[in-house]
Structure 1
Amino acid sequence: MSKKWISVLIPVISIILGLIVGAIVMLATGFNPIDGYIALWNGVFGDSYNLGETIRAITPYVFAGLAVAFAFRTGMFNIGVEGQLIMGWLAAAYVGYAWDLPNGIHAAVAIIAAAVAGGLWAFIPGLLKAKLQVHEVIVTIMMNYIALHVANATINYLSDGKEKTETIKESASLTSNFLGELTDFSRLHWGFVIALAAVIVMWFILQKTTRGYELKAVGFNKNAAEYSGMNVKKNIILAMVISGAFAGLGGAMEALGTFGNIMKMTAFSGIGFDGIAVALLGANQPFGVLLGAILFGSLKNGGLNMPNEAGIPDEIVSIVIALIVFFVASGYIIQLVLTKMGKKNKKNNKNVKGEE
């Protein structure tokens, strides 16, 4: 069996195993897995409203997954996507309500502001990594907490002590009457189109540009890249900035599409941390991340229907997702089994030919 087919089969098998073990968990806790999965399906595809909400839920996961995957492809482990997303969310919300710009231009400027904010927040760990060899995992984790409290303090200042900022102006909004009517007035917005464009942009950068080749080369072997004349420190910083920009765009989708503002947070949104799982499911490939985000967002949104329709706690969905991620993380074992099966089939075919 070729490596290409094995890489495709690993996530598929992982999903199937996750669903099977999830069904066993439901049975063990006294719930009917058939009813549970039917409710999950209806929560995703049951009607136009649920479908619209599912696509809306998928959108920020695409950006979070791309942020993690881009950093990983360039040799970095960005655990700070959550903080970068929060800063992008804050920047987009501020530009969205405080600035007066024409329709279209206003939304574009707010989106750019979010990307810049996320990129700048990721610039700090990138700089520390490049100049002082400070491990990016430690710095990015700490930057998440700093972002959370900085955002809350800024919201408190901008809103005169209120719990959230003012609602963004209509000129900055990504919502659409057309999409609302099409999906029975769900919160679906044009962010999903931007997410699809971001997938193509990441693919183009990594596969079709000289800079993308340098970024991957530095991530693969820093010493070899430096020996060949590449500026390793510059590429490390650039990789983190681009990763942070993707995360910031995810925040913009929440500010300009789903909520129309930003409110004080007592805890993290979780989207940035879930992006790690999305990137893992997508094997850190742009289009794989898209598929991983579709799965993750569908499970998250569809799971909200399980308590109402089947009486199953939504925590079961978290267990199913965790099981899927677990099996993906254990992909080496699945790969080993598939490889051995492939070798065994080849051996059997040779024996059959020999007997003939």
Structure 2
Amino acid sequence: MSAPFVKLPAWAEYGLVPLVNLVIAFLVAGLVVVFAGENPLRAAYLMVSGAFGSGEGIGYTLFYATNFIFAGLAVAVAFHAGLFNIGVEGQAYIGGIGVAAACLAFDNSLPWYIVFPLAIAGSAITGALWALVPAWLQAYRGSHIVITTIMFNYLANQLMLWLLLNVYKPVGSMALQSRTFAEGGQLPKLDWLLAMFGLNIRAAPFNMSFLLALAVSFLVWVLIWRTRLGYEMRTLGNSAGAARFAGISEKKIIIVSMLISGGLSGMLAINSIMGDQFRIQQDFVAGAGFVGIAVALMGRSHPIGIVLASILFGMLYQGGAEIAFDMPNISRDMIVVIQGLVILFAGALEHMFRPAITALFARARAEATETEAAGA
């Protein structure tokens, strides 16, 4: 006889299930390391120490995590409305146009703390506008959001290439990039933050956009769980029929949700363009938009979970670089395989172990109920 249905407690839903998936992913990744002829325990040590063993390592880990926070939040907002936004990568590319426009226009005349809000607004608006067309097609023409957002990723890539060739590239330059921003277009590092703990970030590009990511995470929590709009989004995501019965406009929620998601995606560009490269160039997103899908799934589309999952993936990126440097038998491509395994178990196979865990909780609850009945 099958175990009765039971709702998992919050600590199991948001903690235990992701932890089990993560442990299995690392065990399988350890087999990859063994097949490469290296010690998996040493590889694990190098990954953790490379990511958190020094101020510079922590700085790089949190720098990567900043991108993943924005990407994860963008995916999560769409998730709550029942939408699967695969276009975060392209929306981040277009968001870079807004960042570059603000920096190139005002970096020589305004200080960074004035250019920064302009870049935030520019990136959010351009990213949202790029998400508007797929949203409109879904709402008014029934075009599937997954297909249209994937297509728009390629369009964004080609548009960025054209802009770099014809607009941003200085005359006489051979590199596909804009000029370097002046001081007004460069975000200061957060070296003072880690210095409070006696750490030196050295060359790590850990910058002010990390604090922006944390602030935006809080605002997303307020939006989803403390506003009427967030309630309508969650209602539509859970049951479109119930939302229509309650008088919620499905078209409006689709449009608004994708605009917010696209705006969050666009803000991802700030970290790399204004906080690290100080210019706009090709491939500055570097796949962070796709990692955001796994981050949102592992974080259960909750801002706190997304921040923690982003730090985990930041560890994978920074620690993976240390492994590739110190273990000659493990190439950079194998590090990508290890990262892919974590994404696989956290994303595509996210529900693999949930039935077994749910059955255990159901059995434990049934036994507890029988014990109480017998005692009465």
Give the drift of 1:139: 0.8
In 1: Cα distance, 2:212 partner to 2:285 partner: 24
Counterparts of 1:333 and 1:15, CA distance in 2:
12
The correspondence of residues 15-54 of structure 1 with structure 2, limited to 5 A, is 15-54=22-61
Amino acid in structure 1 at the alignment position of 2:123 = A
Q: Deviations over 1:200-235 (max 9, x none)?
A: 011000111111112222223333323323222122
Whether contact under 8 Å (1:110, 1:172) holds in the other structure is no
Amino acid paired to 1:5: W
- Alignment equivalent of 1:4, drawn from 4, 10, 15: 10
- Return closer, same or farther for 1:216/1:339 CA change in 2, 3 Å cut-off: closer
Distance 1:24 1:178, change over 3 A: closer
Q: Which residue of 1 aligns with 2:201?
A: 183
SS in structure 1 opposite 2:218? helix
Residue type matched to 2:214 in 1? L
Alignment of 1:90-239 (within 5 A): 90-99=97-106, 100-158=109-167, 159=169, 160=171, 162-176=175-189, 178-179=191-192, 182-239=200-257
Q: After the TM superposition, which residues 259-338 of structure 1 pair with which residues of structure 2 at under 5 Å, given as runs?
A: 259-265=277-283, 269-311=286-328, 312-328=330-346, 329-338=348-357
Q: Is the contact between residue 56 and residue 192 of structure 1 (CA under 8 Å) also seen in structure 2?
A: yes
For 2:217 and 2:59, locate their aligned partners in 1 and report how far apart those are by CA, in whole Å.
20
Q: Quote how far apart the aligned CAs of 1:178 are.
A: 4.3
What SS does structure 2 have at the residue aligned with 1:305?
Answer: helix
- Equivalent position SS for 1:149: helix
How far, CA to CA, are the matches of 1:27 and 1:305 in structure 2?
17
Two-structure CA RMSD over aligned residues (Å): 2.3
Q: Is residue 2:64 matched to residue 1:57?
A: yes
Give the 3 Å change call, closer, same or farther, for CA 213–350 of structure 1 in structure 2: closer
2:264 partner letter: F
Separation in 1, partners of 2:258, 2:280: 25
Secondary structure (helix, strand or coil) at the match of 2:356 reads helix
Code of the aligned partner of 1:245: G
Structure 1 vs Structure 2: percent identity of aligned residues?
31
CA distance in 1, matches of 2:190, 2:287: 29
Deviation (angstroms), 1:352:
7.4
Q: CA deviation at 1:152?
A: 1.1
Unaligned runs of 5+ in 2: 1-5
Provide the secondary structure at the position in 2 that maps to 1:332: coil
State the TM-score, normalized to the length of structure 1.
0.92
The separation in 2 between residues aligned to 1:230 and 1:350, in whole angstroms, is 40
Q: Which runs of 5+ in 1 are unaligned?
A: none
Q: Distance in 1 between matches of 2:105 and 2:233?
A: 37
Counterpart of 1:70 (choices 71, 77, 93) is 77
**Partner AA of 1:322 in structure 2:** G
> Does 1:254 find its partner at 2:261?
no
Moved more, 3-12 or 118-127: 3-12
How big is each residue's C-alpha offset from its partner over 1:153-179, in whole Å with a ceiling of 9 and x where there is no partner? 111122246410112231232123845
Amino acid aligned to 1:124 = V
Q: What secondary structure, in the 3-state scheme, does the structure 2 residue paired with 1:84 have?
A: helix
Identify the match of residue 79 of structure 1 among 80, 83, 86: 86
Comparing 343-352 with 40-49, greater Cα deviation is found at: 343-352
Q: Given that residues 190 and 208 in structure 2 are in contact (C-alpha distance below 8 angstroms), is that contact kept between their aligned partners in structure 1?
A: no
SS in 2 for 1:107: helix
